[in-house]
Amino acid sequence: MQKKLLLTVIILLVGATLGLYLWSRSGGLQSAVVRQVSQRFISGRAEADVMQKILGFEQPQTYLILFLNNTELRPAGGFIGAYSVVKIEKGIPQILKVEGTELLDNLAPQDFPSVPPEPLQKYLSIKRWGFRDSNWSPDFASSAAKALELFKKEKGTAADEISAVIGITPTLLEEILKISGPITVNGEEFNAQNFTEKLEYEVEFGYAAKGLDFDNRKKVLADLTHALLAKMRGDILKHWPQYLALGQTMLAEKHILAYSQFAEAQDILLAKNWGGVMRPTSGDYVLWADANLASLKTDKVMERELVYSFGHVTTTKPGEVGTSSGKYIGAVKMKYANNGSFTKFTTRYRTYARVFLPVGSRFISVSDNLPVDQGIENGRQWFGAFTVIEPGKTKELVWRFYLAPQITEQIRNNSYSLLIQKQSGTIAQALTLDLNFGKDIVAAAPSEEAANHNNQSYNLKTDLRLDREFKIDFK
């Protein structure tokens, strides 16, 4: 039971290296609480055995923690501004390292091949692919594997011993502070409202006023970790239901991401959709991934709406009514609004944006006739382009394409499914669907508003707080 309860804390805070420590100091909870936790998270003996293994009860385990700054969005959650290495033995953690990623990259050996993705070369003038830029794939498992590869090449602390990579965003820490209340670090108060902005200020500017040199400017991260541990040591027992619910939410919303080199543990992460991966599906698929390239922390003032639409192509002859060609033309549009201005932290938004679709999707055009890249990654066709949104301005980036033949065939066979995945680290951006099938809909889940029933189109407005799935049947 003790090990099962520990999983609750892991789910919430393993990324921040906090939960393990708290459990080792907590002394346990009442048996009724233990039963509830067990029922919610441990589905069988196999999972319990895996948890025992990854918590270091069989032998010590070492974890690489990535602090993903989602105010500087990257495809797998956010720019890796800092990292931590944590060793776990019998459920008790030892923090081996906490530092800014630029220190590791700048002091790393230069004698290994490390060619960055072309957009990083072109728009950031990066000649070597460093650890801090490793999360280029929106599939967290792929990005985590690349991060671990570069971490080893750069001789990171305990690199050859790492068994898993965990990513967390500042959103998690903001939500924790809503429960725990504010903490004070070096005379400065951090709370849920000011946490991210204040941390950015201390790291970018405040360190100088405190007499720290540039290389030690991220010392505040270690100080924050210890202060938060002290705050939560008693608080987690008083508010464990809130922390439990928060852990579930942050995993579902991809503000905690995990990748394990243990096959059994990775299988559990994938089964519970906790790995931030590009999920397999035989139906239609959309994932939009932005990469903030030299736009400071502008993502915190960006507003987005993703719009997916398509309609069937008709052919006409003079004097005849159009008939269906059997093809569908789709459009994926991102509506951007840059609600910021030119400040220390916000500027024009420079993004390399990619849309991921089923293999077989055929490119037609992109708005503004931007230069287009395309390729296949993780079994998905992608199109990419670089665009800029000035402060106070709005802009739409629109991709037009033919739907993949297998998706057209599904519609022809009277059934259609769609998976739209959110980009890790984003926060509930708006989502609009306008899908015209050219045939009568008989059932749809989730259902449209009643006013939109009994026609050939599916129209719905929701958000991408989570991955969204849709299923539609026809006559």
Q: Where are the domains of the chain?
A: 2-271, 284-474
Q: Are 424 and 257 in contact (CB under 8 A)?
A: yes
Tokens 């990005």, residue located: 143
Q: Are 419 and 279 in contact (CB under 8 A)?
A: yes
Sign of CA dihedral 101, 424, 193, 37: negative
Q: How far apart are CA 298 and CA 300, in angstroms?
A: 5
Task: Return all residues near 115 (Cβ < 8 A) that are at least 6 apart.
Answer: 129
Tokens linked to 165: 């990579």
457-469 average pLDDT score: 97
Helix 240-252 and helix 219-238: axis angle, to 10°? 130
**Which uninterrupted H or E stretch holds 86?**
strand 79-89
The predicted structure's pLDDT at residue 46:
62
The predicted structure's pLDDT at residue 26:
36
Fold of 284-474: Immunoglobulin-like (2.60.40)
Report the predicted TM-score, pTM, of the whole model to 2 decimal places. Answer: 0.88
Residue 374's CB is within 10 A of a number of other CB atoms, namely: 12
Tell me whether the omega of the peptide bond preceding residue 60 falls within 30 degrees of 0, making it cis: no
The predicted structure's pLDDT at residue 271:
86
Q: Are 247 and 11 in contact (CB under 8 A)?
A: yes
Residue 427's CB is within 10 A of a number of other CB atoms, namely: 16
273-300 average pLDDT score: 96
Task: Calculate Rg over the CA atoms of the chain.
Answer: 24
In 339-440, DSSP assigns E strands to: 349-358, 362-366, 373-377, 380-389, 394-402, 415-421, 430-436
CA distances in angstroms from 218 to 174, 186, 250, listed in the order given: 18, 13, 25
- Tell which residue, 426, 165, 402, has the closest CA to residue 275: 165
Tokens linked to 460: 């719905």
Helix, strand, coil content of the chain in percent (nearest 5): 35, 35, 35
The predicted structure's pLDDT at residue 28:
34
Residue 176's CB is within 10 A of a number of other CB atoms, namely: 26
For the segment 352-402, what is each residue's pLDDT rounded down to a tens digit? Answer: 999 999 999 999 999 999 999 999 999 999 999 999 999 999 999 999 999
Considering the domain delimited by 2-271, tell me its CATH architecture.
3-Layer(aba) Sandwich (3.40)
- What is the chain's mean pLDDT, rounded? 85
Q: How far apart are CA 270 and CA 279, in angstroms?
A: 9
For residue 362, the cross-strand partners are 402
Looking only at the bridges linking them, the beta strands covering 256-260 and 162-168 are antiparallel
pLDDT at 138 over 90: yes
CA distances in angstroms from 368 to 351, 387, 396, 397, 402, listed in the order given: 15, 10, 10, 8, 19
